[in-house]
Structure 1
Amino acid sequence: MDFLPVATSIFTLFILIGVGFLAFRMGYITRSGASGLSSLLVNVAIPCLILESMQVPLSSGLVYSMEVIALIEVVVYLVSFISAIVIPWCLTGSVFETGVLRFMLIFSNLGFMGYPVAYAMFGEESVFYVTLINLPFGFLVFTLGVFLLRPDLARNPDLKRILTPGLIASVLGLCLLGTGTTIPSPLNESVSLLGSITTPLAMIVIGTFLAPLPFFSMVSDIRVWIISAARLILIPVIVFLITSPFVTDPLLLGIPVLLAAMPVAANTVLLSEEYGVNAELASKGVFISTLLSLVTIPLIGIYLLP
């Protein structure tokens, strides 16, 4: 993959992050406003993007592609789980801090950054595969993720938190895919327009999220740098080395590897706050990994992806 197109795509997205950052710092977007934009993105824009992307004819070639993606994702999660067991064990911290570190290694920013970055690098066709990869994400976050953060609360998972609009849209999208049904006009046009705001809105929301974080306190924890390096480089490189000998299609190989290289999931902070664990540590992980991804994502695209 050539450097210039990759770098241009990524820097374009980070300019939008800068817009969100400045808008928050200048008072154009408040904390409550940023929360509202995030809710709109997660509960409306991304579900609409999912529904639109799943309206494709089901063919034998597409079924094969789905099977390949599923197998690669098994590898991604196995590598992530093993990393989450080994790496935090070597670092100091309380039980709850270790849980936050493990959460950061397993769950990447598939929703906010996955869709726009994959779209920028691979085009519209990538949205369908990103949706497939996102299918188990919500379920795992609110089951395994809660267990990592608070083992004492994980015995009674909240089904309301699992049945998110994104998960519901994914299931509906699979029904549309399996039956060959398309959303009728003009509803389809509305869904398409709402889905199209995902990329700029996601980047602006990330910028507003990073804006209030104190910079110097964010960069002083060595554990966060180690976790970020593993999240952004180690995991995708291992996944690539395992899967590349068996997968020749650049799209089927590139998208899972790219998503494995995403920074720490933004909801790490939200869940850490909600479950009363170290939200500051989670904020550091999101901050550092997101900033470093400005460099690491283009490098992954250039050196690993065809």
Structure 2
Amino acid sequence: MDFFEIFQKMLLLLIVIAVGAAATRFHVMDEKTNDALSDLVISVTLPCSILYSVVNSDRLLDNLQVVSLTFLGIAVALAMIVFSKAMVVVLKVPLTQRNLCRYMMIFSNSAFIGFPVLKAVFGPDSVFYAAVYNMVSMILSYTYGIVLISGEESRENKNRFNIKMILTPVMISSVFAYIMYLLNLQLPAVITETLGFIDPVTSPLSLLCVGCSLARIPAKKVLSAWRVHLAIALRMILFPVLCFYILQALGVPLMINGVVTVIAAMPTAASTTMFCARYGNDQQLASSAIFVTTLLSAVTIPLLCRVLF
């Protein structure tokens, strides 16, 4: 793929993020607006986009390949856990920051930035594959992720994992889309048209929310904890390359390889600060990492796509 073509797509996404940041600076958006829009995306528009990606796409994968993609997600998640554990030791990340650093390495911004990028680079069909792959990450984030964020001493934490945590609209719509695809179910035309009418707003709303979040980060915190930022940056560069060539050697289809590779190259998850607030970890460190890695992704993602695809 042409570097400048991909860079233009990333630049478009970054401009929308910048619009969200500017709107926050000029008090058009604020924390309450961002929370409301985030809830709208997570609870309404993104589930609609996931469902629409199934009803509006060709069956490019058979059922066995879809199930294989699920197990691939599990395998990649396990590899990421091992990779993150090794990197924090190699880079000598301070002990007090290691769990949060590992969380930010394992869980990338697949929903708010990953889905728009995949849709821009690989087309709308990639959204369903990303949703299937993302189910594994979502379950892991509400289980193992909470263990990392809250720390090992959190056995008495009242906010520990509850099965209701993963019963989110995104998770439910992903499972429903998964079943629809396996059973080749079709929705009534009016519902399909409704989903298609809502689908286009998901990407811009998601990116506006990212911009609003980034605008509230204190400037002096951005360059702190450079070892954490470096660890995440290396995950964004090294791990996708390893994934791509390993999956290519195994004969994995290019679309699936692309979904896994691009999601692995995403900046750290925007939801990290939410988890930090709930489980008593460093919100400013999380916010600074989101800011630095989101800016970095504007260069690294086009480069990776240019070199690998």
TM-score by length of structure 1 reads 0.92
**Aligned residue pair count:** 304
Q: The residue matched to 1:244 in structure 2 has which SS?
A: helix
CA-CA distance at 1:230 after TM superposition: 2.0
Shift of 1:197: 0.9
Which residue of 2 is the match for residue 109 of structure 1?
Answer: 109
Counterparts of 1:194-205 in structure 2 under 5 Å? 194-205=198-209
| CA shift digits 1:85-123 (9 cap, x unpaired) | 11223424244x211011011100111111100000011
Shift of 1:51: 1.2
Counterpart CA distance in 2 for 1:120 and 1:222 is 31
Distance 1:153 1:142 in 2: 14
Shift of 1:225: 2.5
Q: Per the alignment, in what secondary structure is the counterpart of residue 277 of structure 1? A: coil
Identical-residue share of aligned pairs (%): 31
Alpha-carbon contact 1:100-1:148 (below 8 Å) kept: yes
Question: Could you tell me which residue of structure 1 aligns to residue 305 of structure 2?
Answer: 301
Q: Aligned AA for 1:284?
A: S
How far the C-alpha of 1:64 sits from its partner, in A, is 4.5
Q: Kindly indicate whether the alpha-carbon contact (under 8 Å) linking 1:58 and 1:180 is maintained by their aligned counterparts in 2.
A: no
Q: CA deviation at 1:154?
A: 6.1
Q: CA deviation at 1:285?
A: 1.4
Distance (whole Å) between structure 2 residues aligned to residue 57 and residue 38 of structure 1: 26
When the two chains are superposed, the root-mean-square deviation of aligned CA atoms in Å is: 2.0
Judge which range, 191-200 or 270-279, deviates more. 191-200
DSSP 3-state at the match of 1:54: helix
| 8 Å contact kept, 2:93–2:228 | no
Matched, 1:62 2:62: yes
2:162 aligned to 151, 158, 161, which one? 158
Q: Which residue of 2 aligns with 1:208?
A: 212
2:94 is matched with which residue?
93
Query: Aligned partners of 2:202 and 2:23: how far apart in 1?
Result: 18
Structure 2: how far apart are the matches of 1:32 and 1:301?
36
Q: Which residue of 2 aligns with 1:10?
A: 10
Is the Cα–Cα contact under 8 Å of residues 224 and 284 in structure 1 kept in the other structure? Answer: no
Contact 1:146 1:153 in 2 (8 A): no
**Are 2:25 and 1:25 aligned?**
yes
Gapped regions of structure 1 (runs ≥ 5): none
SS in 1 for 2:161: coil
Q: Which amino acid is 2:224 matched to?
A: S
Structure 2 residue identity aligned to 1:124: P
More divergent stretch after superposition (127-136 vs 185-194) = 185-194
Which aligned pairs between 1:118-133 and structure 2 lie closer than 5 A? 118-133=118-133
CA distance in structure 2 between the partners assigned to 1:153 and 1:177 by the alignment: 39
Q: Distance in 2 between matches of 1:110 and 1:195?
A: 17
